[in-house]
Amino acid sequence: MDVGTTITKAVAFAPDGTQLDRAARATVLNRVREGWYEQDVEQVVGSVHEVLAELGTALDRPVSAIGLTAQGDGLWLVDAEGRPVRPAVSWMDGRAAPIVEEWSDKGLLEYAYRRTGGLMFPGASGPVLAWLDRHDRDALDRATTAAYCKDVVLQRLTGVRATDPSDASMPFLDPRTHRYDAELLAACGLAHRRPLLAPVLPAPAGPLLPASAAVTGLPAGTPVVAGPYDLPASAWGAGVTTPGDGLLVLGTTLACQVVTDRLDHDGEPTGFVLNTWRPDRWLRALPAMVGTAALDWVLRLVGAGLDDLPELLAEGRSDGLTVLPYLAESGERAPFVAPRARGLIDGLHLGTRPADLVRAVCEGVAYSARHCLEAAGLTGTLTACGGGLASPAWTQILTDVLDRPVRVLSGQEIGARGAALAAAAAVGVPFASEPPPGRIHRPRPEAARRYAEGYQRYLDHVAQARAVWCRD
């Protein structure tokens, strides 16, 4: 199971790693007012039941186990039975931006980073919890758990109330002890809400409840295992497990992460430290807020669709154009946290064509990827996956900007594969550990030299823009 922000997927794998079948349902991300994004918890849980039922009916063999992964961050407030006490606040939400700025001014963001390795942003559960404590205390008082998406799905399928170390990494978990940091909770003014934090277990699991079995058609008692949330699950599923190696996920967001075997919180605060499937491995994760969402936006702007992208990228010329793709209403979270960050297009003139603008946006996302991967400490090989890589032209732009070979896993359910690996490991069933081979894209020297100059201009624009955002 891979429960994303706008789509829920169930994917069946054979023991040799072959993908057998897939079912999917769209879910709704509600923009309830400017900068506020919420989800209907019951709709999301219903989508899980539906895809499990569809896939279970289609399979001609029994199911050994169900592995779960899902979107991270945000806040999913539920009662003792896992029922919502209010709509879930998405990781894309920006209502807690004033709290993040207040904590930044007080030095609390850096204090938290030095303790946990995570730089909080408006959609992280800590600021959202603080916002609700100020503005909707009744909801918190009625809740039993301040959960993450995956936790809610696990509880509704099995009755188990727990979270795993990857979801709990942001923002209150000590990455060394896997215990909540009581001093950090107190510093954030949230010590009295400590009972809302779910127990942290290495791989929370339980048997499928009879009620869930009746809805899905799967046998009661089928093991259900919560793996890491989607960022570390994707790294595991892609086979990115060696320190120094990185994974880039070009999806709705632009998720960049690098495996490390040591904890170092002494540098400039940036990104997150995520616990993984091994106690001696962490991910330096820098998930920028916008990836393919930036492409969707510019295509709507110029009146084009995805089918037009190959022609637009072939025709477009971005000479003199620089795009900062910070289009999320809640600002940016990687490689820096800036709640007031906004997109920028510099160099427009009357001769700028729609194709030029589309190409410049795709290049801006690629520059953001390089910025994040450099900040994360990439030194080894790089693997990439996600829907944006379905475009060979955009993939080549990305490879040229990064100026390094990229192993591309396109058309693969990498996050779901990570969840399957977690389930297989937890219940002791065989599952192939070798990741899909993918295909290698290599940078073109001339294009890489040109993009190196463009990347420097991009960094200059970022520095100038950050000064403005901090001043406003």
pLDDT of 366-396, one tens digit each? 999 999 999 999 999 999 999 899 999 999 9
For the chain, list residues with pLDDT below 70: 471-472
Exposure of 45 in the CB half-sphere (CA atoms within 13 A): 22
Structure-token match 């000064």, residue found: 467
- AA letter at 43: Q
Q: Are residues 388 and 445 in the same domain?
A: yes
Confirm if 416 and 70 have CB atoms less than 8 A apart: no
**How many angstroms separate the CA atoms of 243 and 404, rounded?**
17
What integer pLDDT is reported at residue 100 of this predicted model? 97
* pLDDT (0 to 100) of residue 42: 98
pLDDT at 472: 58
Regarding whether 437 and 353 lie in a shared domain, the answer is yes
Which residue type, as a one-letter code, is found at position 400?
D
* CA–CA distance, 383 with 390 (Å, rounded to integer): 14
Q: Is 232 part of any domain? A: no
Q: Tell me: do 223 and 244 sit in the same domain.
A: no
Total domains present in the chain: 2
State the pLDDT at residue 266. Answer: 83
Residue 395 lies in a domain: yes
What is the per-residue burial (b if ≥16 Cβ within 10 Å, else e) of 17-36? bebeebbbbebebeeeeebb
Structure tokens at 156: 């509704």
- Tell me, what CATH number does 22's domain have? 3.30.420.40
Smallest Cα–Cα separation from 91: which of 331, 399, 388, 318? Answer: 331
Check residue 77 and give its pLDDT. 98
Q: Are 413 and 362 in contact (CB under 8 A)?
A: no
> Does residue 234 belong to any structural domain of this protein?
no
**Residues 263 and 195 placed together within one structural domain of the fold:** no
Same domain, 221 and 338: no
Q: Does residue 367 sit in the same domain as residue 293?
A: yes
pLDDT of residue 471: 67
Measured CA to CA, the distance from residue 471 to residue 166 in angstroms comes to: 35
Domain that holds residue 315: 240-471
**CB of 117 closer than 8 Å to CB of 175:** yes
Q: Are residues 81 and 127 in the same domain?
A: yes
For residue 223, the tally of other CB atoms under 10 A from its CB is 19
Q: HEC string of the chain?
A: CEECCCEEEEEEECCCCCEEEEEEEECCCEEEECCEEEECHHHHHHHHHHHHHHHHHHCCCCCCCEEEEECCCCEEEECCCCCECCCEECCCCCCCHHHHHHHHHCCHHHHHHHHHCCCCCCCCHHHHHHHHHHHCHHHHHHCCEEECHHHHHHHHHHCCCCECHHHHCCCCECCCCCCECHHHHHHCCCHHHHHHCCCECCCCEEECCHHHHHHHCCCCCCEEEECCCHHHHHHHHHCCCCCCCEEEEECCCEEEEEEECCCCCCCCCCCEEEECCCCCCEEEEEEECCCHHHHHHHHHHHCCCHHHHHHHHHHCCCCCCEEECCCCCCCECCCCCECCCCCEEECCCCCCCHHHHHHHHHHHHHHHHHHHHHHHCCCCCEEEECHHHHCHHHHHHHHHHHCCCEEEECCCCHHHHHHHHHHHHHHCCCCCCCCCCCEEECCCHHHHHHHHHHHHHHHHHHHHHHHHHHHC
- ω before 62 within 30° of 0 (cis)? no
* Residue pLDDT, tens place only, 44-94: 999 999 999 999 999 999 999 999 999 999 999 999 999 999 999 999 999
Query: Using CA atoms, how far apart are residues 342 and 56, in angstroms rounded to an integer?
Result: 44
Does 233 map to a domain? no
In a domain, 258, yes or no: yes
pTM score of the predicted model: 0.95
- Rounded Cα distance between 291 and 372, Å, is 12
Residues 6+ apart with CB under 8 A from 107: none
Among 204, 227, 250, identify where a domain stops: 227
Q: Are residues 259 and 189 in the same domain?
A: no
Same domain, 268 and 349: yes
Tell me, yes or no, whether 90 and 125 share the same domain: yes
Whole-number Å distance between alpha carbons of 105 and 181: 21
Same domain, 273 and 213: no
pLDDT of 82 reads 98
Q: Assess if residue 235 is contained within a domain.
A: no
The answer to whether 277 and 268 are in contact (CB under 8 A) is: no
Is 362 domain-assigned? yes
Structural domain ending residue among the three candidates 170, 196, 227: 227
Question: 260 and 177 in one domain?
Answer: no
Whether 12 is covered by a domain: the verdict is: yes
Q: How large is the C-alpha radius of gyration of the chain?
A: 21
Whole-number Å distance between alpha carbons of 404 and 400: 7
Q: Which residues pair with 75 in a beta bridge?
A: 89
Rounded CA gap, 275 and 178, in Å? Answer: 9
